[in-house]
Amino acid sequence: MKTVFAVFGDPIEHSMSPKMHNAAFTDLGMDCEYHAFRVSQDSLRDALIGAKAMGFGGVNLTVPLKEEALNIVDADPLAAMIGAVNTVDFKDGMRGYNTDGIGAKRALADAGVDVAGARVLIVGAGGAARAIGFQFANDGADITIANRTEKRAHDLARDVSSVGTAKGTGLADLKVLISKADILVNTTTVGMHPNTDQTIATADDMHPDLTVFDIVYNPLETQLLKEAKAAGATAVNGVMMLVHQGAEAFRVWNNVEPPVDVMKNAVLEALGA
């Protein structure tokens, strides 16, 4: 009998997770399947209880369910600090994890970039910024969070300061902030399909020693990354964050090392790359 895994969200049609995880299961010869289910916030508790009752191996959560899950599952300390759960394991009750920050850290590591001791400028103050901010600050980075609504940046920086060094600011001095940064992380949707001509910064704002990490993965090369290359900076797209956060969930569920390259290729194929 196959073990079922799933991703819950609303909307959910865009998710790459089924292709990514099913490719990994096939590669490892595991008798498992991964499916996407549309689940509303109001239905999340019932959906998780039902998944556990039916013997699901585990569940991923995406927008808008990550925060609501904190009221339902037993979150590990990092997920509790971040305030969001994207992975639920059923081996011992309903245990919640957040693998987004780990995914971002490993995506940069793949590009030869170490966040420890780095000056990291995160643009945006939403869920992804929160996960990345906590992870990178915990790993020893000096975090600056810049956001259009400055209060949200200050609030997030205050929370992140519980595990490391962080400060918040608005976007008025973004060019100056970029000039002082080692790593620029875009956690906003600016530049995402279909608005592919948009960018948070241009080549004139950047310097060659900068690493520009855009968590957007559709398109694979955003306008921000094109600008980074024009400036001679290191450009890192969002595909490997997606892959590594999925790979970490795979480890949590199965205690098996996932085939990361197989998962990456499945995502790239789905994106038409």
Token pair 């971040």 is at which residue?
A: 82
Active-site annotation holds for 66:
yes
CA distance 22 to 75: 26
Residues 118 and 224 reside in one and the same domain = yes
Residues 90 and 121 reside in one and the same domain = no
Residues 111 and 214 reside in one and the same domain = yes
Range of the domain at 195: 101-237
83 sits in which H/E element: none
- pLDDT in single tens digits along all 273 residues of the chain: 899 999 999 999 889 999 999 999 999 999 999 999 999 999 999 999 999 999 999 999 998 899 999 999 999 999 999 999 999 999 999 999 999 999 999 999 999 999 999 999 999 998 899 999 999 999 999 999 999 999 999 999 999 999 999 999 999 999 999 999 999 999 998 998 888 999 999 999 999 999 999 999 889 999 999 999 999 999 999 999 999 999 999 999 999 999 999 999 999 999 886
CATH number at residue 38: 3.40.50.10860
Give the total number of structural domains in the chain.
2
Residues 79 and 150 reside in one and the same domain = no
Residues 47 and 166 reside in one and the same domain = no
CATH number at residue 217: 3.40.50.720
Residues 158 and 217 reside in one and the same domain = yes
Residues 193 and 252 reside in one and the same domain = no
Residues 110 and 186 reside in one and the same domain = yes
pTM exceeds 0.95, yes or no: no
> What does the pLDDT read at residue 244?
97
Residue 80 CA from chain centroid, whole number: 16
> What does the pLDDT read at residue 80?
93
Residues 79 and 199 reside in one and the same domain = no
- Asked whether the beta carbons of 152 and 215 are under 8 A apart, the reply is no
**How far lies 185's CA from each of 35, 140, 235, in Å?**
30, 16, 10
Residues 52 and 92 reside in one and the same domain = yes
CA distance 29 to 31: 7
Residue 33's beta-bridge partner residues? 4
Residues 38 and 132 reside in one and the same domain = no
Residue 41's closest CA among 69, 75, 82?
Answer: 69
Q: How many helices (H) and strands (E) does the chain have?
A: 10, 12
Cis upstream peptide for 11 (omega within 30°): yes
| Active-site annotation holder among 19, 52, 66, 226 | 66
CA atoms within 13 A on the CB side of 164: 23
268 sits in which H/E element: helix 260-270
Residues 111 and 224 reside in one and the same domain = yes
CA distance 124 to 148: 7
